[in-house]
Amino acid sequence: MSSLNASFVQNMSIVHPEYFFIIGLTGIPYSSYYYIFLFIAYFIAVIGNSIVLLIIALERSLHSPKYIGVFNLALADLGETNAVVPNMMKTFFSDSQYMSYNACLANMFFVNFFTTVQSATLVVLAFDRFIAICLPLRYHAIVNNTVMSLAFIVVWTFNTSLVALASSLMTRLSFCKSNVVQSFYCDNGPLLRMACNDNSINVFITNLIVALYLISPVFIIFLSYLGIFFALSKITTWEARLKALKTCVSHLLLVGVFFIPIIGMIIASSVTTLTPNTRVISVSLSFTLPPMLNPIIYVLNTAEIRVLIRKLLKNRIMPIRKNISK
């Protein structure tokens, strides 16, 4: 009975602020120009990823395991950039930088969810490249549309459950000292540091997500490319090696664009203390640049997509020229 009373008292003492104040960049002159840059990156990301999604959805020749992965990556990029940038624009170009408690948790969920989907998708694409190069004769038996679709159903379901758990556990925290979030969105890191009561469970889940979607993916992708390079070393001619390696260029660029900024920020923060403004700039870039660059990388490095875009442009331009000539 005493334990029930203690639990009741603890629940009664939990303080949930009505609003959080998202502080963003402070004390930096002309910071509005930086937000304009992020908005331009957002615009390019939305247009680029929408084009990739439409091309893959409408072109039957691209309904293959590799492009199912690319489709999911573009979908995650589109979701992440829409979860981050419009809210940020609304917050910093309006008169108020306040975000309601429930909106804050929703914002946290969607940003973290689409980020984890991006990370998991890069691992699935690494597996696709590993099988294609190391086991080419068994590729279609191991990797097919059904297997790839099931893999992404598992990814989306598991990620939804884990990130939803992390977001829901935030409701057990009491914020009695401050409601000022030193970030550009509802970042769970600053929120955990603001908690007045025990946050050990939240820290554990956060560390688990970091381990599953940052440390593990880098390790798995590294091992997959070790296997790929070992398989390539057995190929006798350099031309054949380069041809096989060329199929990995897009994926390697995507991995670098996604993981290098995050790892660089972690290393920098472990070596020195990052100011709030430095952290805001580095995190915002790591969230907005990959969704902008990913479709550009795939268009420039994928012959099938380039050919289809040329066909679409040709079909659009030719009728216009005929009408002008008349």
Is-contact 97 22, C-beta < 8 A?
A: yes
Residue 12 domain-assigned? no
pLDDT of residue 322: 54
In a domain, 122, yes or no: yes
Q: What is the pLDDT of residue 106?
A: 93
The span from the CA of 27 to the CA of 104, in Å, is 24
- pLDDT value, residue 245: 83
Closest C-alpha to 118, from 142, 85, 143, 152 = 152
Specify if 56 maps to a domain.
Answer: yes
Q: Which domain holds residue 166?
A: 17-325
Q: What's the pLDDT at 28?
A: 78
Domain count, the chain: 1
Three-state secondary structure call for residue 288: helix
Counting Cβ atoms within 10 Å, is residue 98 exposed (0-12), middle (13-18) or buried (19+)?
A: middle
Q: Is the residue at 156 inside a domain?
A: yes
The pLDDT tens digits along the chain (326 residues) read 444 444 434 445 788 888 898 887 777 777 778 888 988 999 999 999 998 898 888 888 888 898 999 999 999 999 999 998 888 777 667 667 788 999 999 999 999 999 999 999 999 999 999 999 999 889 999 999 999 999 999 999 999 999 999 999 999 999 887 888 888 888 888 889 888 888 899 999 999 999 999 999 999 999 999 999 998 888 778 888 888 888 888 889 999 999 988 888 878 877 777 787 888 888 888 888 999 998 888 777 666 677 777 776 676 655 555 555 55
Q: Which of 183, 180, 189, 181 is nearest to 25 (CA)?
A: 183
Pairing of strands 180-181, 98-100: unpaired
Q: What is the CATH number of the domain that holds 230?
A: 1.20.1070.10
Q: Is residue 6 part of a domain?
A: no
Burial of 116 (0-12, 13-18, 19+ CB in 10 A): buried
Q: Within a domain: residue 2?
A: no
